[in-house]
């Protein structure tokens, strides 16, 4: 029978010590009724009921004679081995406890400190010695090693000899491990200088004893106890006393009381059920009777040792948490919609020089994946749980009542919402888990290619419009709008089947998503100006569709990116794919009146260093006026009229700026392959995409309707924004915005004079700059959803 403190490990975990052989009786590990106890088998007080049997007496005499031969041999072997190993090991320097850092899990938190994900092989959070109550340290000693605080040295040599003799003479196999020996075994096992310290051998015992002895001479009992409590297993997936306090009582270790501490001290011996012996362990949720007996044993020992007065001894077993199989304790959160956040956390940690995205031996740093697995980080992110829940509720197929729920299986949605004044990503839905495809961001395929963009269609006109305004074009300028074929090509520039004539104002072209005027404007100002404006707004990457290459827009001047890989005027109305998060970042810049804040997820990074949380990284906001305020305000001046055009006005008349867009499935199809809605209020910018999750197919609703930007994406956008902004103030857009640019910058033809008004007849609207005309006469067909880039 193991001595107190032998401790058993959990199935599937490295063992903490030896498992108990049979249930423990109220008297404790060697109490009445237990093996080695006064009434148990081979106990000193019992002869098994055979005291008068001559055969039994003869057998006992023979065993005694054999013992007289075996004992000296065993002692000689033990002492010889002890001498050889001791000489070797005492010449070896023992690392300090501070240099032995056990792996600790990393916790990724939302902005309200709720858990998004927990990564690592061990649910452990190191705590400093001063955070572990003195009474709890005494309770552990009472349970595992009552001589711990009074022993001179970390080894119970008498116990080792007694155990060796008992084992040699056929008694129960005994461990005789003190807390210091247990710590030495657990902390130094596998270290190159020490080899295997968990092997069941006396050589291991000697090594363990020498280590323990040297530790006890160099470090005080409190230091060793605190290190011990940080590495041992307590069941419920909890490694270390802090994780155990949370698993069993939902509180930090320094908030435990005496009764609760005794529960945890009692659990150490065998935290989990043992399939071999059948003993259920000492988790009170599984084996309350034995857990209570063990609890009493611990508290009785406290009183006996003078560490607790009888009057202060608890008498009622404390309330405890039941194991929660759904609780996020280790390697959890990845297979959820929030799992994609982890990939951005890695990138930002690499930017902070805390790790390398990929293993680089020359740097001497861990890879970011390794750092998250065992570095013991606490990473606080920008994710707003309310907004994240709203995004998932409207965009995830599995959510009953979501916009996508019940729609054709090929449809996939993505939503990203950003705080314009900081760049903080408040909600991110790019798919159902962090190990699959991220439809809102970048991915790397099997060949190492970067993928992930979607053609933005007319939503890209936000940047084309800004580029035109920045180049001196006015919203009141007029442009040709008749469809045509680009000379020398087979590219037909059209307006989703509409012909608005050749005198369309830029404002109307924006509200009606006419492609032809935007093509002409792009050719006038230069395609490079559009690419540069998109980059300044926040578009980091565009994909060249002819060979599917991801192009970093910062890699070279925009003038070198056109006409190849980005061809002339069609860039202006959204052929080339971008990511959803970049698009959200771009419109966030417009929302903050031209001030760019890089989209990011991490606000602070702390690391547990020897039980102390140390801040090692965090966000560094760098707001920059990359687009002039006048340009951004003029963009907003027209986009704030779009909600009524798209039929997606926000609740309670909240001011918003919006833009829809689609892109055709392919050049031979009139169906759509991508559909978008982007927009913003002063405090929140959002991009929504709906497209295919696998092979490219026509975007159709369950009733066969073509999906345009104002369809499913618009519904997702409106529902999300209303929920996310519920209860927040209705912030107005800037008032008194002055139009900029030259009204005569366009190539539009002078319109013919209006027809005479016939008395009694409704006058025909001939001014495309009149919003009423737009809403009443020219709005038809905006939901047709065919052609190139459009609503």
User: Which residues are known catalytic residues?
Assistant: 144, 458
Alpha-carbon gap, residue 64 to 541, rounded angstroms: 85
- For residue 622 the two structure tokens come to 């760098």
Alpha-carbon distance of 710 to 781, in angstroms, equals 12
Answer for the pair 234, 270: CB distance below 8 angstroms, yes or no: no
Residue 586 and residue 463 in contact, taking contact as beta carbons nearer than 8 Å: yes
Q: Residue 524: CB partners within 8 Å, gap ≥ 6?
A: 471, 473, 745, 747
CA angle 539, 543, 546 (to 5 degrees): 155
Distance CA 758, CA 763 (A): 8
Q: How far apart are CA 473 and CA 530, in angstroms?
A: 13
> What is the DSSP-derived secondary structure letter of residue 25?
B
Residues forming beta bridges with residue 115, ordered by sequence position: 109
DSSP bridge partners of 493: 484
Rounded CA-CA distance 581/45 in Å is: 76
What letters, b where the CB count within 10 A reaches 16 and e where it falls short, cover 717-746? Answer: bbbbbebbbeeeeeeebeeeeeebbeeebb
Report phi then psi at 140, rounded to 5. -65, -40
Please count the other Cβ atoms lying within 10 Å of the Cβ belonging to residue 257: 14
How many whole angstroms from its chain centre is CA 48? 60
First to last CA, the chain: 78
Q: 571, 541 in Cβ contact below 8 A?
A: no
**Contact predicate 602/346, CB 8 Å:** no
Closest CA to 658 of 488, 496, 454, 459: 459
Question: What distance in Å separates the CA atoms of residue 337 and residue 389, rounded to the nearest whole number?
Answer: 10
Residue 367: count of CB within 10 angstroms of its CB? 17
Question: Strand, helix or coil at 412?
Answer: strand
**Torsions phi, psi for 428 (to 5 deg):** -150, 115
Contact 517, 790 (CB under 8 A): no
Burial class for 387, CB neighbours closer than 10 Å (0-12, 13-18, 19+): buried
Helix or strand (DSSP H, E) at 74: helix 54-90
CA neighbours closer than 13 Å in the CB half-sphere of residue 655: 16
Joined tokens for residue 479? 């442009």
Residue where the block lists tokens 């990074």:
605
If one counts every other C-beta atom within 10 angstroms of the C-beta of residue 132, the result is 24
How many residues in the chain? 791
Angle at 37 (CA atoms; ends 35, 39), nearest 5 degrees:
95
Q: Distance (Å, rounded) from C-alpha 39 to C-alpha 217?
A: 39
């Amino acid at each position: 029978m193991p001595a107190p403190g032998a401790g058993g490990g959990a199935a599937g975990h490295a063992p903490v010590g030896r498992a108990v052989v049979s249930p423990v009786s109220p008297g404790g590990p060697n109490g009445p009724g237990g093996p080695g106890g006064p009434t148990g088998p081979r106990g000193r007080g019992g002869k098994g009921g055979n005291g008068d049997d001559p055969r039994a007496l003869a057998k006992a005499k023979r065993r005694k004679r054999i013992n007289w031969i075996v004992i000296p041999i065993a002692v000689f072997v033990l002492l010889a081995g002890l001498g050889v190993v001791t000489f070797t090991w005492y010449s070896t320097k023992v690392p300090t406890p501070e240099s032995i850092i056990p792996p600790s899990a990393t916790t990724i938190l939302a902005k309200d400190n709720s858990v998004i994900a927990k990564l690592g092989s061990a649910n452990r959070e190191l705590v400093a010695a001063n955070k572990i109550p003195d009474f709890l340290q005494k309770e552990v000693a009472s349970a595992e090693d009552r001589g711990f605080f009074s022993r001179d040295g970390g080894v119970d040599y008498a116990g080792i000899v007694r155990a060796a003799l008992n084992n040699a003479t056929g008694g129960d196999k005994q461990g005789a491990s003190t807390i210091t020996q247990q710590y030495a075994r657990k902390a130094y096992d596998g270290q190159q200088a020490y080899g295997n310290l968990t092997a069941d051998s006396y050589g291991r015992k000697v090594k363990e004893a020498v280590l323990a002895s040297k530790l006890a001479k160099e470090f005080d009992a409190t230091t060793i106890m605190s290190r011990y409590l940080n590495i041992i297993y307590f069941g419920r997936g909890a490694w270390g006393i802090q994780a155990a306090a949370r698993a069993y009582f939902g509180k930090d270790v320094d908030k435990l009381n005496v009764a609760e501490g005794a529960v945890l001290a009692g659990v150490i011996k065998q935290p989990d059920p043992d399939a071999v012996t059948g003993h259920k362990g000492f988790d009170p949720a599984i084996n309350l009777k034995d857990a209570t007996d063990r609890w009493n044993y611990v508290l009785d020992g406290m009183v006996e040792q003078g560490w607790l007065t009888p009057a202060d001894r608890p008498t009622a077993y404390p309330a405890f948490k039941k194991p929660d199989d759904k609780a996020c304790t280790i390697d959890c959160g990845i297979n959820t919609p929030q799992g994609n956040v982890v990939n951005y956390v890695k990138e930002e940690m690499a930017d902070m020089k805390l790790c390398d995205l990929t293993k680089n031996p020359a740097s001497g740093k861990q890879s970011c994946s390794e750092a998250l697995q065992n570095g013991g980080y606490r990473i606080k992110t920008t994710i707003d749980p309310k907004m994240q829940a709203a995004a998932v509720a409207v965009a995830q197929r599995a959510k009953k009542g979501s916009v996508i729920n019940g729609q054709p299986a090929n449809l996939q949605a993505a939503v990203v919402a950003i705080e314009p004044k900081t760049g903080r990503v408040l909600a991110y839905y790019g798919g159902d888990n962090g190990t699959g495809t991220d439809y809102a961001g970048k991915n790397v395929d099997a060949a190492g290619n970067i993928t992930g963009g979607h053609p933005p269609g007319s939503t890209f006109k936000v940047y084309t419009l800004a580029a035109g305004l920045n180049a001196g074009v006015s919203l009141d300028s007029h442009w040709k709008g008749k469809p045509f074929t680009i000379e020398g090509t087979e590219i037909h520039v059209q307006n989703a089947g509409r012909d608005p004539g050749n005198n369309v104002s830029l404002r109307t072209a924006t509200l009606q998503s006419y492609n032809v005027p935007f093509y002409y404007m792009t050719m006038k100002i230069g395609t490079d100006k559009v690419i540069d404006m998109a980059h300044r707004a926040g578009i980091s990457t565009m994909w060249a569709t002819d060979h599917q290459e991801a192009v970093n827009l910062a890699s070279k001047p925009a003038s070198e990116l056109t006409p190849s890989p980005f061809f002339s005027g069609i860039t202006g109305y959204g052929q080339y794919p971008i990511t959803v998060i970049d698009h959200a970042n771009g419109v966030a810049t417009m929302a903050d009146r031209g001030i760019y804040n890089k989209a990011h997820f991490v606000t602070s990074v702390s690391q547990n260093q020897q039980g102390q949380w140390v801040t090692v990284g965090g966000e560094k906001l760098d707001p920059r006026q990359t687009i002039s305020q006048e340009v951004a305000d003029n963009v907003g001046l027209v986009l704030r009229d779009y909600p009524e055009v798209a039929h997606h006005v926000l609740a309670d008349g909240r001011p918003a700026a919006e833009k829809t867009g689609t892109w055709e499935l392919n050049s031979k199809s009139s169906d759509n392959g991508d559909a978008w809605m982007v927009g913003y209020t002063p405090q929140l910018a959002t991009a929504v995409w709906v497209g295919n999750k696998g092979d490219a197919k026509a975007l159709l609703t369950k009733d066969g309707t073509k999906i345009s930007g104002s369809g499913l994406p618009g519904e997702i956008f409106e529902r999300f924004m209303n929920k996310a902004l519920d209860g927040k103030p209705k912030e107005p857009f800037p008032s008194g915005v002055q139009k900029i640019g030259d009204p005569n910058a366009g190539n539009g033809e002078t319109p013919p004079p209006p027809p005479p008004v016939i008395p009694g007849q409704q006058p025909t609207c001939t001014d495309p700059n009149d919003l009423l005309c737009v809403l009443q006469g020219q709005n038809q067909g905006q939901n047709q959803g065919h052609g190139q880039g459009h609503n």
